[in-house]
Amino acid sequence: MTDEKQRVPPNQRITSTFPVLHVGDVPEFDPEKWDFTVEGLVKRPLRLTYNDFLKLPKATIVADFHCVTGWSKLNNKWEGVSFMTILNLAKPFDSVRYATIVAEGEYTTSLPLEDLVADDVLFAYRLYGEALEPQHGGPLRLIVPRKYAYKSAKWVRKVKLTENQELGYWERRGYSNTADPWKEERFSTDKSS
């Protein structure tokens, strides 16, 4: 077994609980009305119902989760659909460099495509073999294990493929846009953005 201490980024501490952290209220999930769309610079815009989503090829990862406020939760088993699967279905134009992830409410985040096509990035609908709880982002959340957890948007409804990056909710409020926990990129240092 790998040494768990080596898996904890600088100035993070392991938690055995699973804190719930978000702005605003946990949204209601109505499977009849819920949809997941992919738009922007794509040849095939998508609109999937919850059932459509469950029929897509499944991916499972076990990954650690690092919140910028200082807690890390190790060994989380997520199941869902890899970002790559969605991207391939939507057929992005060559000019695409970024994706904006749009959640219920006003929460967004964004990432360069190269960070999202990693094989440990997925849209998760199950955690530890159970349906993902609403408070942890159910029915569907993004998981980006190699970034601080504010990049792992809960309650995702839309993905927008873009040529230029649109800054996300926390990224517009002074948090790092690159958000690498191993480099301890917590806050934006670029005064011009």
Ligand X SMILES: Nc1nc2c(c(=O)[nH]1)N[C@H]1C(S)=C(S)[C@@H](COP(=O)(O)O)O[C@H]1N2
* Positions in the binding site for ligand X (CB under 6 A): 18-23, 67, 103, 107, 136-137, 149-150, 152-155
Judged by CB, which is closer to ligand X: 91, or 186?
Answer: 186
Smallest distance from the beta carbon of 68 to Mo ion, in angstroms? 5
Judged by CB, which is closer to ligand X: 92, or 156?
Answer: 156
Judged by CB, which is closer to Mo ion: 124, or 161?
Answer: 124
Q: According to the binding rule CB under 5 A, does residue 149 interact with Mo ion? A: yes
Strand, helix or coil for residue 113: helix
Residue 138, contacted partner among Mo ion, ligand X, none, CB below 5-8 A by kind:
none
| Chain residue at closest Cβ approach to ligand X | 22
- Only segment of 76-84, 109-117, 144-152, 179-187 that touches Mo ion (CB under 5 A): 144-152
Residue 159's Cβ-side half-sphere holds a number of Cα atoms within 13 Å equal to 34
Contact in structure between 29 and 134 (CB atoms under 8 Å): yes
Contacts of 84 (CB under 8 A, 6+ apart): 117, 119, 121
Judged by CB, which is closer to ligand X: 87, or 140?
Answer: 140
Tokens (6 digits) for 29:
């999930």
- DSSP β-ladder status, 13-14 and 71-82: parallel
Strand, helix or coil for residue 143: strand
Kindly tell me which residue out of 67, 96, 118, 167 binds Mo ion, with binding defined by CB under 5 A.
67
Strand, helix or coil for residue 14: strand
- Only segment of 35-43, 66-74, 81-89, 151-159 that touches Mo ion (CB under 5 A): 66-74
- C-alpha 127/C-alpha 149 separation (Å) is 15
Residue 108, contacted partner among ligand X, Mo ion, none, CB below 5-8 A by kind:
none
Tokens (6 digits) for 113:
């495509």
Residue 19, contacted partner among Mo ion, ligand X, none, CB below 5-8 A by kind:
ligand X
The overall longest dimension of the chain from CA atoms, in Å, is 45
Residue 23, contacted partner among Mo ion, ligand X, none, CB below 5-8 A by kind:
ligand X
Torsions phi, psi for 49 (to 5 deg):
-80, 175
Give residues in contact with Mo ion (CB under 5 A). 67-68, 149-150
